[in-house]
Each structure stands twice: as structure tokens, then as C-alpha cells.
Amino acid sequence: MRASEKLELLEKLVSIPVYRVVGYTSGWLVYSSTRGGVESLWAVNPETGEEKLVAQGPVHGYAKPRHPSTIIVYLRDVARGRELHKVFAVDLHGGEERVFADAPPMRVFGLAYDGVRLAFSGATMKGMGLYLARKDGGYEELMKLETMLFPTDVSEKYVVGSGMMRKDPRSMEIFVYDLDSNMVETYTPREGSVNKAPRLFGSKILFESDYEGSSKLYVYDLEEENLEAPSMKGSDYREYSPTEHVDYGWTIDGRIWAIGIREGRSKAFIDGYAVPSPEGFVGSMDVSPRGEAYYSFSRLTEPPKIYAARDGEARILVDNKLPEEISGRIGEARHIWYRSSDGLRIPGFIVESRGAPKPGPTIIYVHGGPWGAVTDSWSILIAGLVISGYHIVAPNFRGSTGYGEKFRLMDIGDPGGGDLEDVIAARNLAVKEGLASKTIIMGYSYGGYMTYLALGRKPEAWDAGVAGAGIVDWEEMYGLSDAIFRKFIEVLFDGYNPDLLRDRSPVKYVDNVKAPLCIIHPQNDTRTPLKPVLKYVSRLLEQGKTFEVHVLPDAGHRIATMSDVVRILFPAVLFLDKYVGGED
């Protein structure tokens, strides 16, 4: 296939919208969509099917709306990709966009809204804070933060959320800020446990905790100080026994809805009864006052749709289909388990390309985070590589989410250690099973970091590498970061440890790189800054290595537009076609 044909195929791919449910309010379902090439907020009337644009993108985040309020709250980046946000609002039924919280631009990393007031956490270069804003545009700082803290709900009386209140990177506690007394309290069922994302219903909070070993949902009454398992009528949820939860919340009449995940696939439940859905991944959900569930659904082989479900039946509310020329090139996707070098069982996914033989060129695709995962849900980056003639093996290395807190915490204090061994074992699996003729490592963000590190520490394993928005020098990144990302590095490395930072920095191993390397990096990236990467490139140049560098002008770390996807995928595919011989 000629380069021009691959470009045409990629452009068709990115024109396929990505959908995600935001929430239901006032007779409308609000959802995000990349329709038109940029993430914007839309709404659909479930009864009539009428759709309308609510907020033109790029939108960089949003709060779940609260019925019956018609005000939709969301974030915009006001600094050309540098992720300095301001909070905006618009009425669902029309009107001008306005600033909701007239705070200075900052990186907002937690957002909760109850229809009247907004709680958010934000970071600058100097520090972090928890803030409260109201409709008139005013805001106040409730408290300065010395640790990572994420508000997840707010009411007239409380702001609640979770964070590392005890400053232990291996635990997470619930915080409760009393708006009457201006006092904050910390709650944990057991010291050292991980407790996440509380949701309010009166004086009760619903949250996930591993305090009894596995991650389960619990209800705690803030006034009665009583902890109990949630009451659910249906047995479907217990029989499914999720490993973790994608999301959860309360219905307007006090029942519990939840999206549980097992082995990279998820199911939705209301009051313990399963919400009808195909097998795959339910990614986001809300429930109307009448009890109708709305959720987004996708697979690695199928783009997102939005479903409405009630009384045991589901219908497509917002449809989405792949053109035959794209669907015909995407082969089987399957969940796998394999053993790492130390015997640990590692999960992951394989997606085969119908445009490549077996064995054929295979990309070991490393997800970002590191606290993330590849699930059986639509990924434009993975789909773009598959239709371009590359098989994909996507390891969910130790540190990935969705497989329990014990597995996720294995990355703390050891980034670039055991997780790198898991990636190498995935590469060896691809060769052993006859999938891979040549092996490529590729990833974005933390996946870009792992690409750099793998090429330097395991140079014989690879035929090529593609590093997107990666990290090459943890020490220099720490000095360039704002308060939240300095804290992120401290958490990941279990404290500020200069020796470990240097040892796990790819710049230390740059002289060992043998395989051709394609570097793709946003110009205005403030999470993984460009400056250290340019120094790494200088070392590559001095050593006479084979490499390409693509700096994306006026782009930030977050992939904000579908044109950015093409700017990442197309140079990567051309590079790989040249050096490892992409098929057809």
C-alpha cells in the first residue's frame, strides 16, 4: 500500500467519532464527541433523538451535570497545549459561554459539581490548592495542598474526594471538607488501604476500597460513622465479582449503579442487576430519574456507540460504524495472560492485523500512565497501527489498573524495573507464538518513556522504536515540572531518590541504542517537557544513531484534536514502513 493510501485510510479513521457519556440532566443526555475533529460537548434528547452542540471544543475535561440543573461545566486549555485551564459554563438550552470560576489559569486535576457549586483542585509551579466556586464567578481557596488530592463530589455541606492524605504512596484515604466548619477530616477503614472516589448521597458516601483485600464498594455514613457493604437487590453484580470499578454513583432515589471491570472488559449494573449490553467495554454511564441507563460502549475492534437501556432491553441512541475498508483490516482481538521473567502473571491484549502475515511486523504497544491500561475499548492509536499493517501486543505491565490494587502498586519505587521486564516478556511471547517476524516498541507518555528505556537497556530485542511524548531524564523533568507533577514523580519513585531517578532515566543508556528510533514530541508539553528530549537527540546525533525527530508545533501532551492523531500516526507508520517493512 502506497503512503498516500495509508494517509487516506488514517484520515478516514480519525473522522470516526469517539463518544463518551458525560451525564443526564433536564431531559437531555450530555456526551462528549470528536465529531468535527475536536472533542466537544453535545446533547441528545433520548425521546426524540434530537441532537445539539452544547460547547464547541477543544474541551479538556468536564464535570458530571447534576439534574435538574441545565448548567454544564467544563475546562478549556488557555495556553496552547500547556494545560493551564480555566473553568467555563454554558446553559444546556443555549446562551453564551461564561467563566464559571475566575481563577488564574492552573492545571486542574479534580472537578466536582452539584448544580450550584463547584469544587476543584489545581496546581501551579508554586503549589497546589483545593478550591470552591459558585455561579457568580467567584471562588475561594479552601486549603493549600501538600499531597495529591482529587475532589469527586460536593454538596451544600461537604466536599469529598480521595488522596494521599497520610503521604504514603501505597495508600489513599478519603477526605471530607465540612463547608460549615471549614474543617477537613481524613477517613480510612484501615490504615494502609487504598480508598477511592467517594460519591455523596445526603450524609452517605459510596466509595471503592481494598481494605478487606480485594477492591469492593462500600457505603459510609458521615454523620452516623457507620461503614457497610452497599445494599443491592440483584445478584448479577455479586456473581460478576468485578476486580475493580470503572465508575459508580447513586441514582436519584438512592440506588447504586456501578461499572465493574474484569480482565479488560466491563459490565454495568443498577441495584445489583446487570444492564443489558454487548460483551466489550462500558466506559461511562449515567442513570435518569426514570431509571433509564445511558452508557458508552466499544471494543478494540469497534468504535464507541451510546446505548439507552431499560427493563432488560438496550437500544442504540447514538450509532457509529466503521467503513468496510477499515473494519476489513482489523483482525481478532483477544485478552491474554503470560509469565514475566520473575514468574508473575501479566495480562494484556493482542490485536491482529489482516494487512500483515503471520509472522509479521509486530508492535509491542506500551500504554501511558503508568497507572492506566489497554482494555477491550476503542483506541485510535492502536486501530491506526493495525490498519497500517502491524500486529499489536499490548501488555498491561505491573502498575496497570483494572487488575487490583496489589498489582497496581507493584510499580511504586520501581519504574523502569519490573515493568520493563514485563514488556520484554511480551515481546518474547510475540516471537515464540509465531506472531512477530520483527518487533517494534512504541508508546506515548509513560509508554514513550518505556520505549526510550527499552531501546537503551535491551537493545538486542528491537528492530525499531517509536517514542511519543516520552521521558528521557527524570531529574531534569522534576525541575521543570509544576507542583502536581513533582508530586507524581515523588509518588512513583517512593520519594525523591536522585540515584534511582538517574538510574531509570533513558539518557543514561542512550549510547546503547541500536535500533532506528522515531521521536514524536509536542512542542508545548508541560507533563513531559521537550527540553530534555532535545538533549537526548543531541546525544543520538553525536553517536551517529539512526533516528527521526518530529516536533508537533503548538501542541501539548494531551491529544486534543484528531489532526494531532494523524500527526502522530502518519510519521510513525512511514518510519516503520521504511525500517521494518510494513506489509502490503
Q: How far apart are CA 273 and CA 393, in angstroms?
A: 34
Q: Which of 445, 463, 521, 564 is catalytic?
A: 445
Residue 118: which of 162, 165, 69, 163 has the closest Cα?
69
What DSSP state is assigned to residue 300?
T
Beta strands at 360-366 and 391-395: parallel, antiparallel or unpaired: parallel
Rounded distance, CA 58 to CA 53, Å? Answer: 13
- The whole-angstrom separation of Cα 475 and Cα 145 is 23
204 three-state secondary structure:
strand
The Cα–Cα gap between 555 and 559 comes to 8
- Locate the DSSP E strands across 252-312: 256-262, 265-270, 273-274, 281-287, 293-299, 302-310
Pairing of strands 173-178, 98-113: unpaired
d(CA 472, CA 501): 10
Nearest to 363 by CA among 338, 391, 386: 391
DSSP assignment of 336-402 equals EEEE-TTS-EEEEEEEEETTS-SSEEEEEEEPSSSS----SS--HHHHHHHHTT-EEEEE--TT-SS
Residue 353: exposure state from Cβ atoms within 10 A (0-12, 13-18, ≥19) = buried
Whether 340 is a known active-site residue: answer no
Q: Of 215, 282, 205, 193, which Cα lies nearest the Cα of 249?
A: 205
Of 245, 367, 521, 557, which residue is the catalytic one? 557
For residues 31 and 42, what is the distance between their CA atoms, to the nearest angstrom? 5
Active site residue 557: yes
Indicate the burial class of 265 (C-beta count within 10 angstroms; 0-12, 13-18, 19 or more). Answer: middle
Report yes or no: 272 and 238 within 8 Å, Cβ to Cβ: yes
Asked whether 216 and 209 are in contact (CB, 8 A), the reply is yes
Give the list of residues 6+ apart from residue 446 with CB closer than 8 angstroms, or none. Answer: 366, 367, 368, 369, 370, 372, 471
Handedness of CA 118, 120, 124, 127 (dihedral sign): positive
Task: Kindly give the pairing relationship between strand 436-444 and strand 302-310.
Answer: unpaired
Q: Collapsing DSSP states into helix, strand and coil, what is residue 521?
A: strand
Amino acid at 312: G
Instruction: Out of 210, 482, 525, 564, pick the active-site residue.
Output: 525
Strand order in the sheet with 216-221: 195-201, 204-209, 216-221, 226-228
**Do the beta carbons of residue 300 and residue 382 sit within 8 Å?**
yes
- Dihedral sign for Cα atoms in the order 241, 243, 246, 249: positive
Which residues form the catalytic set?
445, 525, 557
